Each structure stands twice: as structure tokens, then as C-alpha cells.
Amino acid sequence: MDPIRLKYPIILIHGMGAPSQIGPLEYFYDLPKRLRAAGNQVFIANVAPWHTIDHRAKQLKAQIEKRFPEGKVNLVGHSLGGLDARYLASCLGFHERIASITTIGTPNRGSMLGDVLLGLVPDLAFNTADRVFQLLGSSIRAFHQVTHRHSKEVLNSQLPNMSGIAYFSATSAIPNPVRKHSVPIFWVSHPLIHHHEGDNDGFVSVQSATWGDHICTYAGDHYAQIGQLYGSTRGMNHMAFHEEIFAHLKKAGM
């Protein structure tokens, strides 16, 4: 990544399925180090990996206020992290502190995988499983929050774009042959989503991930967007992907 320094600090927000760091492995593979080398102030949020958007957004707010008590920040959220950022802006009275929100591979308009999961799992079983997760300090209600129905009927009326915040998005789509360009978990989900919504990263369609000023769509799967696994991205140059994103933010005065 070429040295690209933004005006405001960068807050990186991870998705639902993993914390910000597991041992020596960072969720955003090699990205924070490169951003800091360019002179950026970078904070990696660490919110509950399996929990609801509202719960995670409240944690995010507390962490940002502790690290940066004043001044504007740039929020960059991957997957569910993008919805955390939008919730923080729209529902928690934090919009005046936010210069920009960039969602990467985020189900802004819902995910078919949420629809499929809730369609396959009876309500009783889902509620029982969620009670177990709650005993462990987590929740699987986020799967309900990213269904198409919830996104259309609740979430996107609840999370309007806020005045004074610049909204951006970026995503990727798995190219053919799918087995060469994605991890096995996406070999089944990709064609299912493609049949109903077109190009997708294995979790989220390009259509759903597009929000605000759309910066780019690269060829790769959902995990390649963050340089996983362990820097192996099945053909996608994730550093070029992020370089384009942050260059765009810099040009926009962020």
C-alpha cells in the first residue's frame, strides 16, 4: 500500500464471526500496520463477535470515546461491522463525531444466508439456541437482523444516512471457477445467492453490499476482503483493494 494518510483517525470494525485478534492473527490481515506506517491513527475495535448489531454498536461507541474523547473519526466496517457503524451513527447520538462510514462486504440490504438459516431452523430451536448463547454472553439474533425482511421492514428505516457523514462502500464477487477463487465454505452458498441476487462474495451480494458512494468491486470472496486466511486470498490483491478504498477517502477529504 502506498502511503495514504487520512485527515481523521481510522476505526476498523470486525464482522460477526471472529474477534479483532486471535493470538497473533489480526482480523484485518496486515492492514493496521500498513496504515500506521503511512502516518494514520488507527484503532481496532473489539466488539462481541457473536452478538446483535445494537449491542455491538454500544460497545463500539464506548471504545471510541475512550480512545478518542473528541474529534471526528472514519469508521471502516467489514461485514456486520458496517451495520454496527451505521447503527452508531443513526441510533446512538454519535453522528456529529463521524466523518465517514465505509462498509466492506456488508449486508446493507440483508443476506440470503440469514433467510435460509431462519427458514431451516424452527423458531423454538432458534430461541433455545439463542438462550444458550446468552448464557455465554453472546446472541445469534444478528442472523435475524440481516434477513432481507428485517432489513427492508426495520433496519434500513432505523438506520438512515445521517447528514454530515460521507457514506462509502466496497465489496467483491467470486469469479469463475468458484472452487479456485474461494474457500470451500462458499462453494454451496455462492451459487445459491447468485441464482437469486447475482454476483456475490459467498456471504453477501454486490447489490446488498453497495451503499452510498460505491468505491469498487474486486474479484474475490468475503474473507479475501480482509486478507484471510493468513494472507492467502485465492487471487485477490487485498492490499490493492484497501489502497483504492483509502485513496478514495483521502480524495474526499476524510
For residue 5, being part of any structural domain is answered with no
The answer to whether residue 173 scores a pLDDT higher than 70 is yes
Instruction: Say which CATH number the domain at 220 has.
Output: 3.40.50.1820
In the chain, how many domains are there?
1
Residues in the chain: 254
For residue 1, being part of any structural domain is answered with no
Per-chain mean pLDDT for the chain? 92
Give 21 or 132, the one with higher predicted confidence.
21
User: Which residues does 64 contact at the CB level (< 8 Å), separation at least 6?
Assistant: 11, 43, 45, 73, 94, 97
Mean pLDDT of 80-105: 98
Cell numbers found for residue 42: 488507527
pLDDT tens digits, one per residue of 240-253 = 999 999 999 999 99
For residue 2, being part of any structural domain is answered with no
For residue 42, being part of any structural domain is answered with yes
CA 241 vs. chain centroid, Å, equals 15
For residue 140, being part of any structural domain is answered with yes
The pTM assigned to this predicted structure is 0.93
- DSSP 3-state of 208: helix
For residue 29, being part of any structural domain is answered with yes
For residue 4, being part of any structural domain is answered with no
For residue 149, being part of any structural domain is answered with yes
Q: Which domain holds residue 78?
A: 10-251
What pLDDT shows up at residue 124? 53
pLDDT class of 138 with cuts at 50, 70, 90: low
What pLDDT shows up at residue 234? 97
The answer to whether residue 88 scores a pLDDT higher than 90 is yes
pLDDT class of 118 with cuts at 50, 70, 90: low
